[in-house]
Amino acid sequence: MDEELHERVRDTVAAIPEGTVATYGDIAALAGASTPRLVGRVLGEDGHDLPWHRVLRADGTPAKHLREEQCARLLEEGVMSRNGRVDLTRYRWRPERG
């Protein structure tokens, strides 16, 4: 992955407002990444300083190994989950697309 794409992914994740969430696919589309897996890769390798907890799978769930911490962080921001799933219709970030 080139550095420019890496930074676009980071910038896009950093722009997710508190109290909202996005999917890996949303971030990939906004950043111009070819696959949501690249977003996961960036977050896994270089996402510790980003609001990584605001990025979910397409079905509104976190990865199993992150579920407890991610749901707790989201709850602190007012994002409710039910059985570990966030209602994307209610909480999904909808940025203005230029």
Kindly report whether the global pTM for this prediction surpasses the value 0.75. Answer: yes
- Each residue of 12-51: pLDDT tens digit? 999 999 999 999 999 999 999 999 999 999 999 999 999 9
Lookup: tokens for 54: 């605001």
- What is the set of domains in the chain, with CATH numbers? 3-91 (1.10.10.10)
Considering only CA atoms, which of 17, 31, 9 is closest in space to residue 92?
A: 17
Beta strands in 9-64 (DSSP E): 22-23, 55-56
